Amino acid sequence: MRLEPKPAPSLAVTLLFPLAAIAATLLITSLLVLVAGASPLSVFYLVAKGAAGSQFALLETLTRATPLIFTGLAVAVAFRAKLWNIGAEAQLYVGGIVTVVLGTGALPLPAPILIPIIMVAVMAAGALLLLGPAVLKTRFGVDEVVTTLLLNFIVLLFVSMLLEGVLKDPMGLGWPQSQKVIAEAQLPRIIQGKRLHYGFVIAIVSAIVVWVIMKKTVLGYEMRAVGHNPEGARFVGIPVNLVLMKTALLSGGLAALAGFSEVSGLKGNLTLDLSPGYGYSGIVVAMLAMLNPLGVIASAIFVAGIFVGADAMSRVAKVPSYIADVMVATSLLTMVVAILLTRFRVRWR
């Protein structure tokens, strides 16, 4: 078997293969649902109803999608330049740390000033965290998959140390959690009494800004060129290493905003379970969107809907909610195959 590059695929083909990937995901998941003793159609209906069947369900899906948009954008930006950032989880937690440090009274400022300052500091911290692996890659050829992946565990242990030490809430009854951020550091809710906050709006705006950067700026062109062919980009004068550094700064900053939105907009403080794996799920989100920043919005809502809907479905259909993890993982694998078949033709010898 060998792969031959295809000419530029038509719009119909570009849409057909991702739809086929979704259909394959549903088919594979249906087999597991049947093994669990339930009806696939009933389970899928309950998942959809649990994700968007009421105002509460829809708002919960959008709330869960907010950090996924940030981490999905971070991965999409990095992967576009072939910088394999697997450390969005670490950058998310660093964003949470900075939010707590600056948002618990260190800066007595009004909300319109304090929140932007925290956001800038958060993005700077996340950017610097990813800059280290980028330097190791460009200067010493160290595989960034390894360094960024290991940073996830290092940062999580660092957070655990902080929550048992300097950041521990003295009023927390011994629980490993930080103090609550002050009111001026909290993102307001879009609808009073609901959990959806303005972090979702910031995420949408971020996706639009990233799309503009990727499609309409010199940096975006350089990132795409480096991702397609780094040697060719270097030959025509593009500073490949500098582009990778800029990509790392942007990617790390976006992932850190996920931690900011969760602490400032939803949780109010930093805990070890701040993220149930949003950094890793961001890889799925980015791949489902085919690394398109605007597509990240839709794919993040889709993935969030699966998780929210599966929680509701499991209480009714008695099918474990872990089916959501299977659906998301399978969708990633089928989408990778779909992208491959979109760009290459399989030839059998």
Average pLDDT over residues 6-25: 80
Amino acid occupying residue 30? S
Q: Is the pLDDT of residue 95 over 90?
A: yes
Average pLDDT over residues 287-308: 93
Write out the H or E segment, with its range, that includes residue 188.
none
Phi, psi of 286 (to 5 degrees): -65, -40
Q: Would you say the pTM of this structure is higher than 0.75?
A: yes
Return d(Cα 259, Cα 241) in angstroms, integer.
Answer: 28
Tokens 């590059």 identify what position? 5
How many separate helices (H) and strands (E) can be counted in the chain? 13, 2
pLDDT (tens digit, 9 = 90+) per residue, 37-58? Answer: 889 999 999 999 999 999 999 9
Strands (E), the chain: 2-5, 344-347
Q: Residues of 16-32 as b/e, b for ≥16 C-beta within 10 angstroms?
A: ebbeebeebbbeebeeb
Let me know if 139 is exposed, middle or buried by CB neighbors in 10 A (0-12, 13-18, 19+).
Answer: exposed
Which of 267, 260, 299 has the alpha carbon at shortest distance from 283?
299
pLDDT of res. 254: 98
**Which of 13-22, 212-221, 299-308 has the lowest average pLDDT?**
13-22
Write out the H or E segment, with its range, that includes residue 207.
helix 199-216
pLDDT (tens digit, 9 = 90+) per residue, 45-93? Answer: 999 999 999 999 999 999 999 999 999 999 999 999 999 999 999 999 9
Return d(Cα 119, Cα 181) in angstroms, integer.
Answer: 14
Helix ranges (H only) for the chain are 11-35, 40-52, 55-80, 88-103, 111-140, 144-163, 199-216, 218-228, 230-235, 240-260, 278-288, 293-317, 323-343
Q: Is the pLDDT of residue 9 over 80?
A: no
CB 168, CB 289: distance < 8 Å: no
Domain regions of the chain by residue span = 70-289
Amino acid occupying residue 323? I
Tokens 């694998």 identify what position? 333
Average pLDDT over residues 203-228: 96
| Residues 6+ positions from 324 with CB-CB distance below 8 Å | 47, 306, 307, 309, 310, 311
Return d(Cα 84, Cα 47) in angstroms, integer.
Answer: 32
pLDDT (tens digit, 9 = 90+) per residue, 244-255? Answer: 999 999 999 999
Tokens 């909300």 identify what position? 111
Residue 227: C-alpha distances to residues 71, 124, 224 (Å):
19, 24, 5
